[in-house]
Amino acid sequence: MNLAEREMEIPASEPERQYYFIERARQDLEKMKEAAGRQLTFCVTTFGCQMNARDSEKLVGILEQVGYIEEPDEEKADFVIYNTCTVRENANQRVYGRLGQLGHIKKKNPHMMIALCGCMMQKPEVVEKLKKSYRFIDLIFGTHNIYKFAELLATRMESGRMVIDIWKDTDKIVEDLPSERKYPFKSGVNIMFGCNNFCSYCIVPYVRGRERSRDPRAIIREIERLVADGVVEVMLLGQNVNSYGKTLEEPMTFAQLLKEIEKIDGLERIRFMTSHPKDLSDELIEVMGQSRKICRHLHLPVQSGSSRILEKMNRRYTKEHYLELVKKIRAAVPDISLTTDIIVGFPGEMEEDFQETLDVVRQVRYDSAFTFIYSKRTGTPAAAMEEQVSEDVVKDRFDRLLTEVQKIAGEMCSVHQGAVQTVLVESVNEHDPELMTGRLSNNLLVHFPGDESLIGKLVDVSLDECRGFYYIGRQI
Ligand code: 5AD
Ligand code: SF4
């Protein structure tokens, strides 16, 4: 077949087009395997959040269909892909550091290819730097065209040249592409993409684009298929799940979506992430209170306890509003576990502001909190703000915050001592093969004697001994 004929047979519509390129890449890989005289392997390394973790499962799904075999050790793999994060500067630094090492390994392996994708690639200065100083990279793409991975891979294999394809934004959502799951019994499910909030410190709206929700029917269909395939727990994913459905042709609320998902037979647990306090509705609180399947855990990022700083962050709620919300949630779902994200050292943060943050931490009593040092992201409004806080002041506040958060988290964990609760068994304990590790509805980990046959099952355990942030238990 000549080139023109070959171009004509490429399907124009998705996902058919990608299935076509999977087949083409499979044929290309066959030739590469013959030349190498062995199987070729891949390793997908994920940086950052659960969204990226889910995207990586899609990459794995495609690589497996193309015929690569998974190799957990990145230094031994023939195809290495980094799915990157850029939410804080240290995420970028880690990628550059590891890339340097990969470059050396590639010199020794003529069959090796290196690809980069994810949020960091959406920044033009990053791609410029990679093009200039990391010429050994084979393929670079961004967050908006990840569904095109098979096509880009085939293009790279056939052209032998570095392939770069980054889109500024998209309104496209491609359904029904292959995807692998890390765990057979639980899965992330995207319900929306992008973010429209523009918190002033955050790069996400610039690298993940405008908010768009998936059609509820596509979400339900995906979950039904997952359940038929053995999944009992889903984590609904979006940057701001509370604003789900606003952009749909037939608008629908997140609470309504949850009610539909609850009806799916065989599905036992529903989690979701992340909620923005400004959009958390009374309707959602009511649905959570009544649900049998929604887990007793809410991640509700506060970012700061100071209303003055919250305004500069463009969060669109005050300290009082946030505390009021927490009160309502605790009233409707008394056993709920609350977790949060907090940023220390936002520009202009004074000791009084920091004290307000500590006050919120003490009033809410979080079960756990992710604490971050503010990281300046070029292009965001906060990066241009004056009064950036000095490093030693930030470090001191960060340490004080961490001490408080950990003290309270330990106390919150210990209140369950002696209770019997259900865990979803996830794995054999990493340190002790006699123990199994499971997760409670409220997200706490429990380790208890058992065997591998329990993985993926829901079992009742007695929470015998609190060890700081987890329990040692016993199956009942
Ligand atoms: N600096 C520090 N932390 C940040 N986050 C987002 N942007 C920044 C930044 N520039 C944190 C927020 C968010 C979490 C995912 O990362 O707390 O909730
Ligand atoms: Fe970033 Fe704010 Fe959007 Fe979260 S809600 S992704 S912090 S802009």
What are 86's two structure tokens? 């850029």
Q: How far apart are CA 227 and CA 231, in angstroms?
A: 5
Residue nearest to atom 14 of ligand 1 (CA): 341
296-324 b/e (C-beta count within 10 Å ≥ 16 → b)? bbbbbbbbbbbbbbbebbebebebeebbe
Pocket test for ligand 1, best of 51, 85, 88, 313 (most atoms within 8 A of CB): 88
Comparing CA positions, the residue from 105, 13, 106, 21 lying closest to residue 63 is 21
For residue 239 and ligand 2, the question of a CB distance below 6 A is answered with yes
**Residue 234, φ and ψ in degrees, nearest 5:** -120, 150
Ligand nearest to the CA of 300: 1
Q: How far apart are CA 415 and CA 417, in angstroms?
A: 6
CA atoms within 13 Å, Cβ hemisphere of 433? 0
CB 418 within 8 A of CB 194: no
Biggest CA-to-CA distance, the chain: 73
CA atoms within 13 Å, Cβ hemisphere of 444? 32
For residue 197 and ligand 2, the question of a CB distance below 6 A is answered with yes
What are 426's two structure tokens? 């996830």
Q: How far is the CA of 196 from the centre of ligand 1 (A)?
A: 15
Cis amide leading into 205 (omega within 30): no
H helices, E strands: number in the chain? 14, 19
In this structure, the strands spanning 435-440 and 445-449 are: antiparallel
Q: How far is the CA of 267 from the centre of ligand 2 (A)?
A: 29
Helix (H) or strand (E) holding 422: strand 420-428
Residue nearest to atom 1 of ligand 2 (CA): 202
155-206 pLDDT, tens digit each: 999 998 999 999 988 888 888 888 888 899 999 999 999 999 999 999 999 9
Pocket test for ligand 1, best of 47, 201, 275 (most atoms within 8 A of CB): 201
CB 62 within 8 A of CB 153: yes
Residue nearest to atom 18 of ligand 1 (CA): 341
- pLDDT value of position 2: 64
What are 20's two structure tokens? 């076509």
CB 26 within 8 A of CB 65: yes
Which atom number of ligand 2 is nearest to the Cα of residue 239? Answer: 6
For residue 304 and ligand 2, the question of a CB distance below 6 A is answered with no
Q: How far is the CA of 299 from the centre of ligand 1 (A)?
A: 14
Residue with tokens 């090796």: 112
For residue 195 and ligand 2, the question of a CB distance below 6 A is answered with yes
CB 355 within 8 A of CB 401: no
Q: How far apart are CA 373 and CA 395, in angstroms?
A: 8
Question: What would you report as the CA-atom Rg of the chain, rounded to the nearest whole angstrom?
Answer: 23
Residues flanking ligand 1, CB < 6 Å: 87-88, 201-202, 301, 303, 341, 343, 372, 374-375, 377
Alpha-carbon dihedral sign for residues 264, 267, 273, 277: positive
pTM of the shown model: 0.93
Comparing CA positions, the residue from 253, 236, 232 lying closest to residue 244 is 253
Q: Which residues in the chain show pLDDT less than 70?
A: 1-5
CB 117 within 8 A of CB 141: yes
